[in-house]
Amino acid sequence: MKKLYIETQGCQMNKSDSERIAGILSEYGYLLTEDEKEADLLIINTCSIRQLAADKAYSQLGVWGKRKKDRPNIKIGICGCVAQQNKEKIKARAPYVDLIFGTHNIYELPDLIKSVENNEKICSVTNKAVVKNQNDFKIIRKNSVNAWIPIIEGCNNFCTYCVVPFTRGRERSRNPQEIIEEAKNIINEGFREITLLGQNVDSYGKDLKDENINLANLLRQLNSLEGNFRIRFVTSYPSDITDNLINAVDECEKVCKYFHIPMQSGNSRILKEMNRHYTKEQYYEIVAKIRARFPMVTITSDFIAGFPSETEEEFEDTLKAIDELELDYSNTAAYSPREFTKAGKMTDVFISDEVKSKRLERLNAKNREVCLKSNEKCVGKVLSVLIEGVTQKNGKAVLNSRADNNKIVHFVSDKYKIGDFVKVKISKAQTWCLYGEPVE
Ligand code: SAH
Ligand code: SF4
Ligand code: F3S
């Protein structure tokens, strides 16, 4: 057996792709290793959402390139969003790379790997996905409790700052039977949580041209499967969340009452510049509607600080929105100009790095403040948690779990194991996690 090491950067979609890459290559004699030093084939699955992420890909390639000088037999591969966008640059900067494949080309790996083994340098990056039934391929999942299922790939939204439509192409939904089949396999294997993935999960089904195929109905179908498991879905686009979806989340007892709805900015002019299809007021209405329906819901978001032309007042609208909406947690980032994007060309109104990083610091401080507030609201409540891991502390087993509402909960008990669902009464809140005691 040969050894394969995969370094995965970026989002859950990339992590899910890596599990599929590992599965496919396992059928061709590659055993996954956690130790990159013993690997015969090294693959980096890259992200280009921000310049820093893309830079990380090249510096990792550089390290592996040096290793290849001493061990010329090792093979180096690169895939993911940087590979999809920059194959020529990769060839020029890292000529020692043996395999380049794009986000659409994962299912060609059986052929690509044969060529690599024949010492050919291979590059397969196409703009159209090769359509396959993914269930014909093995998947090696990293985690034994939570499993990801991509339901829709790509994005049609073209937010002016974002590379994803360029790296992942237009929206393509998987057929619902294929998803249900994958879910059944997962449940039979003993997984306890399924997370449906998509850049914009609310668009699920639109390209399949059958009005019965949508996220709400998919949740209903998955919810009706036998088994002790729960369901999540990410990421929701604010103005695409339908009443039908909210109803489905309400009806389906296995679906977690949790929404990740990136707002990006709390100012309507900036939202327009970003080509987001909603105003600040519309976002507020969506949040109000969801909170009215699910009193214990967690709503998380993403925000960008220092989008081109953002004024101090407009940035403050973002801080105000986080406060007023009582958002439970947000991913934050300073705006990073990206190749091919519209905002990347707005150079005359770029915000300086210094101002961007100061705004990001304030955004993070606000985020910490509201997270703690949100966690404090859980004290005294009983949450349903799923145990994901155990750590030993002072001779005691500390169980690391995640509540239905996505909050991290730690508690001490020797009665439970990884994969158990437990009711926990919350006794203490910190910024990033909760502590409690089991009640049953
Ligand atoms: N599909 C999701 C987001 C995917 S990208 C959505 O529509 O919300 C994940 C996050 O990265 C985005 O929500 C955004 O906040 C951030 N991001 C994307 N492009 C960025 C850029 N050029 N600079 C800084 N942050 C960016
Ligand atoms: Fe990017 Fe916008 Fe698509 Fe999200 S919705 S992936 S931010 S283009
Ligand atoms: Fe990054 Fe590509 Fe995901 S750019 S965030 S890995 S879709």
Q: Read off the tokens for 30.
A: 């590659």
Cα–Cα distance measured from residue 330 to residue 265, given in angstroms and rounded to the nearest whole number: 11
Cα–Cα distance measured from residue 336 to residue 48, given in angstroms and rounded to the nearest whole number: 10
CB 333 near ligand 1, within 6 Å: yes
**Position 78, amino acid:** I
Atom index in ligand 3 nearest the CA of residue 168 equals 7
Cα–Cα distance measured from residue 331 to residue 367, given in angstroms and rounded to the nearest whole number: 9
Choose the residue to mutate in 48, 52, 160, 162 for probing ligand 1, maximizing ligand atoms within 8 Å of C-beta: 162
How close is the Cα of 58 to the center of ligand 1, in Å?
21
The overall pTM is greater than 0.95: yes
Going by CA atoms, what residue is nearest to atom 5 of ligand 2? 157
Nearest to 145 by CA among 402, 414, 425, 405: 402
| Local confidence pLDDT in tens for the 440 residues of the chain | 899 999 999 999 999 999 999 999 999 999 999 999 999 999 999 999 999 999 999 999 999 999 999 999 999 999 999 999 999 999 999 999 999 999 999 999 999 999 999 999 999 999 988 777 888 899 999 898 999 999 999 999 999 999 999 999 999 999 999 999 999 999 999 999 999 999 999 999 999 999 999 999 999 999 999 999 999 999 999 999 999 999 999 999 999 999 999 999 999 999 999 999 999 999 999 999 999 999 999 999 999 999 999 999 999 999 999 999 999 999 999 999 999 999 999 999 999 999 999 999 999 999 999 999 999 999 999 999 999 999 998 889 999 999 999 999 999 999 999 999 999 999 999 999 999 999 97
How close is the Cα of 351 to the center of ligand 3, in Å?
24
Phi, psi of 138 (to 5 degrees): -75, 150
CB 21 near ligand 3, within 6 Å: no
Q: Are 67 and 79 in contact (CB under 8 A)?
A: no
Domains of the chain, first to last: 2-124 (3.40.50.12160), 143-256 (3.30.750.210), 285-377 (3.30.750.200), 382-438 (2.40.50.140)
Residue 75 CA, chain-centre distance (Å), reads 28
Q: Are 211 and 30 in contact (CB under 8 A)?
A: no
CB atoms within 10 A of CB 36: 16
